[in-house]
């Protein structure tokens, strides 16, 4: 009976709810698999080290668990709405609400100085910048409407957000030994890992709410330099055909050409070049969702704090650096050759000698490399349905 209870507990605690929840939540990264019988054998054979046992869950789970306790403790205290002043506050101003903001930032871990001063001074600016950084806001130290809105989010909502993302962490692999890429959609970031060590990160642009980037797993197999953009039929119907009706030179002006017709609808592609919507390189991990990573001519979008602008594919801010990383172990592929291939003007495929795993994930609460709790907006509205399934008496 005890062994049976162990297996029942293990499946729920370390693997999470059944697959129906993740599928309904639009999560198509394969769920981790754990051989609990082997885990039990290991526990029984290591009697002297059982106190050092590490739960077989992705490390973010335990980090979020510690913050869940903190936020539950905070929820027992008064948490009034902070009222914005009648006029916009700027550095040097004084107002009663500033003391209240200081106290809130102290409780949230963003401020460690004076909590009584009503003056908008440098210490408050630095605390606000820290708060803004971990909420994905513009780090200007100003009390704008977005910052006020995040300061006023109820603790109950944050607790739900943490619980939902703890569940997602149960679905992820416990660890990875090799190189891999991870895109966190709500964070608008690409992270490059070697083992479990973060090497570097960069901004990305993801799909809009009506053309979402799918949450899934793939393996990056090849790079395409100077790519054609084979325009999806949906975009041809919604954008290209109306453009052609308005302007007979629409195709030539956009470096496009018709290669065939399918069901009386033209098959259109955009020729390689600086104006190509895929930029000068794309990174392919074949999948049924027709999603990949690529360069873009629209560089200014990477400076926006919210970057959901694409049709579903992922635009990468540092494509040259990514290509260098992926081709580092392949002969003669240095930065100079990569740049030459990107500006070649004709399409060139380069197969990777070793495939690189790619995780397209969706975490709206997570801890960064400094173990600082971060929150991001639920841009695809996936948190609330999951919370309803996980938490009683919502």
* 313 is a catalytic site residue: yes
Q: Are the C-beta atoms of 282 and 276 separated by less than 8 Å?
A: no
Handedness of CA 83, 86, 89, 94 (dihedral sign): negative
Torsion of Cα atoms, 20 then 22 then 26 then 28, to 10°? -100
What's CA 20's distance to the chain center, in Å?
23
Length of the chain: 394
Torsion of Cα atoms, 112 then 137 then 91 then 107, to 10°? -20
Q: What angle do CA 144, 150, 153 make, to 5 degrees?
A: 140
Q: Give the Cα separation of 339 and 350 in Å (integer).
A: 14
Q: Of 135, 254, 294, 311, which residue is the catalytic one?
A: 294
**CB atoms near residue 183 (< 10 Å):** 22
Based on the number of CB atoms within 10 Å of its own CB, is 340 exposed (0-12), middle (13-18) or buried (19 or more)?
exposed
Q: Give the Cα separation of 78 and 91 in Å (integer).
A: 27
Longest CA–CA separation in the chain, Å: 79
* 294 is a catalytic site residue: yes
Q: Give the Cα separation of 208 and 295 in Å (integer).
A: 17
What's CA 377's distance to the chain center, in Å?
11
Q: Are the C-beta atoms of 173 and 289 separated by less than 8 Å?
A: no
Residue of 190, 159, 157, 165 lying closest to 22 (CA atoms): 165
Q: Of 130, 191, 313, 367, which residue is the catalytic one?
A: 313
Enumerate the active-site residues.
294, 313
């Amino acid at each position: 009976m005890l062994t049976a209870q162990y297996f029942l507990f293990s499946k729920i605690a370390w693997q999470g709810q059944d697959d129906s929840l993740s599928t309904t939540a639009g999560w198509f990264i394969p769920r981790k698999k754990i051989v609990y019988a082997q885990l039990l054998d290991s526990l029984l054979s290591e009697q002297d080290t059982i106190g050092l046992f590490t739960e077989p869950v992705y490390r973010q789970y335990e980090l979020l668990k510690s913050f869940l306790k903190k936020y539950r403790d905070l929820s027992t205290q008064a948490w009034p709405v902070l009222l914005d002043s009648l006029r916009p506050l700027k550095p040097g101003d004084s107002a009663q609400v500033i003391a209240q903001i200081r106290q809130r930032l102290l409780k949230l871990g963003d401020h460690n100085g004076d909590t009584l001063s009503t003056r908008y001074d440098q210490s408050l600016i630095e605390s606000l910048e820290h708060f803004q950084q971990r909420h994905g806001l513009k780090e200007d130290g100003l009390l704008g409407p977005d910052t006020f809105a995040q300061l006023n989010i109820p603790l109950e909502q944050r607790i739900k957000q943490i619980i939902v993302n703890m569940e997602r962490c149960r679905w992820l692999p416990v660890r990875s030994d090799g190189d891999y890429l991870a895109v966190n959609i709500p964070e608008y970031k690409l992270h490059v890992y070697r083992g479990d060590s973060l090497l570097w990160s960069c901004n990305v642009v993801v799909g809009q709410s009506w053309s979402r980037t799918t949450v899934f797993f793939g393996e990056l197999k090849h790079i395409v330099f100077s790519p054609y953009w084979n325009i999806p039929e949906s975009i041809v119907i919604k954008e290209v055909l109306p453009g052609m009706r308005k302007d007979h030179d629409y195709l030539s002006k956009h470096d496009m050409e018709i290669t065939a017709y399918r069901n009386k609808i033209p098959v259109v592609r955009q020729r390689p070049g600086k104006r190509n919507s895929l930029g000068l390189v794309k990174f392919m991990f074949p999948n049924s969702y027709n999603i990949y990573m690529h360069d873009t001519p629209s560089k200014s979008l990477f400076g926006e704090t919210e970057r959901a602008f694409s049709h579903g594919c992922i635009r990468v801010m540092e494509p040259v650096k990514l290509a260098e990383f992926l081709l580092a172990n392949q002969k003669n592929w240095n930065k100079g050759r990569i740049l030459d291939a990107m500006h070649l003007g004709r399409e060139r495929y380069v197969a990777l000698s070793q495939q690189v795993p790619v995780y397209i994930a969706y975490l709206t609460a997570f801890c960064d490399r400094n173990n600082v709790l971060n929150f991001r907006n639920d841009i695809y509205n996936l948190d609330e349905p999951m919370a309803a399934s996980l938490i009683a008496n919502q």
